[in-house]
Each structure stands twice: as C-alpha cells, then as structure tokens.
Amino acid sequence: MDYRIDKGSIVALIPARGGSKGVPRKNIKNLGGFPLIAYTIVACKLSGQIQRIVVSTDDEEIAEISKLYGAEVPFLRPVELALDSSTDYDFVMHAINWFDKHEGKVPEYLVHMRPTTPLREPDLVDEAIQKISNDHSYTSLRSAHPAPESPFKWFLFGNSSEFVPVRKGITNDQANGGREGFEDVFIPDGYVDVLISEQVLKNGGLHGDRMMAYISPVCTEVDTQKEFEYLEYEIGKTDSVLYKYLKENYRQEDKK
C-alpha cells in the first residue's frame, strides 16, 4: 500500500486505553483536581511544535474527557488493540491507517506522549522534536534519563546460594567496584518519543535502527497506586506550568 506523507506535519498521539490493572481507570483518575490525561494534553497544547493532539482510546468516557481538555478523538481504537497484550506498534499503525483512509495523508512525525508521565516541560518536548526534525539520518527519537546506579554492578543468582555478576566476563570484585568503572546507563521513560511515519511503515517497527537519544529529566511515571500517591504529593510541591495552566483555565474537581 502506498501512503502519502504530509511533510512537515507534527501530530501528538496519546494512547489511553480504558483497562488498567495497577491503578483502575488510571488515565482519567483525579490528580490534583484534574484527570491524569489532562496534563499530557496541556503539555501538547503549550508546545510550539505540535500541530494537532489526537487521543487513541477504546473508551467513550476517556474520549469525552480528552475532548473537554482540547484533544481530538477522531476514532475509537478497536478493543482488540487495547488489551494488556497489545503493543505500541498496534495502536500507532491503527492511527496511521486511519489517517491514510480518512484524511488521505499521514503525518510525517508522530509524537508519542504517554499520559502516565504527566509532569513534563513543553519546552523540552519542543526541543526533542526540533532535534530530530533537523537531522534526517535518524529513524526515531527516544527519551531516557540517567540511571542512578549502573545495572552492570548488579548480580544474578548463579544457583540457590551464589551471586554472579550480570555482566559476563568480570569478577565479583570488579562488579563491586565504584560506578566510575562502568559506562553511563539510561532508563527509557515516557517523557517524549518522536516517531517518523515513513520509518514505521518501512521497518515494521516503531524505532528503526538509528534511535536518536534525548536525555530527559528524571520523571515520575504512574504504574502503581503508590506511584500515584507520590504524584499527589509532588503535584502540591511543584511549580509545573501544566498545573498552573489547568488551574487557570479549568475548574478543579473534588478529590475522589
């Protein structure tokens, strides 16, 4: 199938399925008086690079709330693409095919913005987009933050009573050495990913073989109730431009 790429177009794609085991109804759970997904929508609204904000969801309630805060929900994702076993590639390809079928063209850049990383700086999102759009030798961009401790210093169980280094070929003493003896390691996060539609279609995957690095700030991500409770604490201490925008432009809900 031939796809027409809309050169220069930059669309945020926010995945928000209805099912969530760790924190039920996580994507619309109240955080500081606003639905969790509202923070990501506002980060996209305050971006100077993102031209459209599209939420991909299978859930009618999430769709309505997303529209209230300024996102488009031009389609509902099929339930079979919103399961625990569904992949990011599944929902991205569904969106690409929808754009192709209903609009006759596919955005050149898809900015993958996960609602579970709510506290971002829009300027940094713009910086990441600008970085990859200026260098066409890369197949995608992925954000990650520095690991506080090198995993090369970790151990596996060699048997029921013995530790062996995770990294092959080093001694126990080397594994117990200072972190200065190991390479810097980065933990992928949900701050911002930038996908290139042509590369997704060409490679049959999201990132391709040349993934540009974007070093993001350490950020809190929500996968458990405990992490959500920490975010409730953090949101009260932060001077987040997103939280400020929400309070100035929307009515806060009572805590549920």
What amino acid is encoded at 50 in this protein?
I
Structural domain includes residue 254: no
What residue numbers bound the domain in which 176 lies?
Answer: 148-183
- Return the sign of the alpha-carbon dihedral for residues 135, 138, 144, 145: negative
CA proximity to 195, closest of 112, 115, 86: 112
List residues bridging with 106 in a β-sheet.
5
The token duo for 83 is: 């399961």
Q: What is the pLDDT at residue 65?
A: 97
Poorest-pLDDT segment among 52-66, 127-141, 167-181:
167-181
Determine the pLDDT at residue 39.
Answer: 97
243, 138: one domain: yes
Scan for tokens 């987040």, then name that residue: 240
Query: Mean per-residue pLDDT for 105-129?
Result: 97
Task: Look up the CATH number of the domain holding residue 77.
Answer: 3.90.550.10
What is the tally of structural domains in the chain? 2
Distance CA 146, CA 105 (A): 37
Q: What confidence score (pLDDT) does residue 1 get?
A: 65
Taking alpha carbons only, the member of 256, 129, 108, 107 closest to residue 191 is: 129
For residues 81 and 176, membership in a common domain is answered with no
pLDDT confidence of residue 252? 87
Confidence of residue 90 (pLDDT cuts 50, 70, 90): very high
Statement: residue 254 has pLDDT above 80:
no
Please check whether residues 139 and 175 belong to one and the same domain.
Answer: no
Whether 166 and 95 share a structural domain = no
pLDDT tens digit sequence for 138-193: 999 999 999 988 898 889 987 778 999 998 889 999 888 887 778 899 999 999 99
Question: Does residue 228 contact residue 29 with C-beta atoms inside 8 Å?
Answer: yes
Q: Judge whether residue 234 has pLDDT over 90.
A: no
Share above pLDDT 70 across residues of the chain, in percent, rounded to a whole number: 98
What does pTM read for this prediction?
Answer: 0.92
DSSP strands (E only) in 38-77: 52-56
Instruction: Tell which of 138, 168, 183 closes a domain.
Output: 183
Residue 255 lies in a domain: no
Out of 20-29, 125-134, 140-149, 192-201, least confident range:
20-29
Is residue 232 over pLDDT 80?
yes
- Using the predicted structure, report yes or no on whether residue 133 has a pLDDT greater than 80: yes
Same domain for 191 and 179: no
Q: What is the pLDDT of residue 118?
A: 95
On whether both 32 and 101 belong to a single domain, the answer is yes
Do 108 and 21 share a structural domain?
yes
Give me the pLDDT at residue 81, please: 84
Within a domain: 10: yes
One domain for residues 88 and 179: no
Q: What is the mean pLDDT of residues 80-95?
A: 92
Q: Tell whether 21 is covered by a domain.
A: yes
pLDDT surpasses 80 at 20: no
More reliable by pLDDT, 85 or 118: 118
Residue 109 belongs to a domain: yes
**In the block, which residue shows the tokens 């506290």?**
119
> End of a domain among 183, 206, 230?
183
Mean pLDDT of 48-66: 97
| Same domain flag for 168 and 54 | no
Can you read off the two tokens belonging to residue 217? 């700030």
Tokens of 41: 């929508």
Q: Is residue 136 part of a domain?
A: yes
Q: Is the pLDDT of residue 64 over 60?
A: yes
Give the mean pLDDT of 117-140: 97
pLDDT score for 111 = 98
Q: Does residue 63 sit in the same domain as residue 164?
A: no
pLDDT at 255: 59
Q: Does residue 256 belong to any structural domain of this protein?
A: no
Of 156, 183, 210, the residue at which a domain comes to its end is 183
Confidence of residue 256 (pLDDT cuts 50, 70, 90): low
Q: Is 142 in the same domain as 152?
A: no
Same-domain check for residues 162 and 121: no
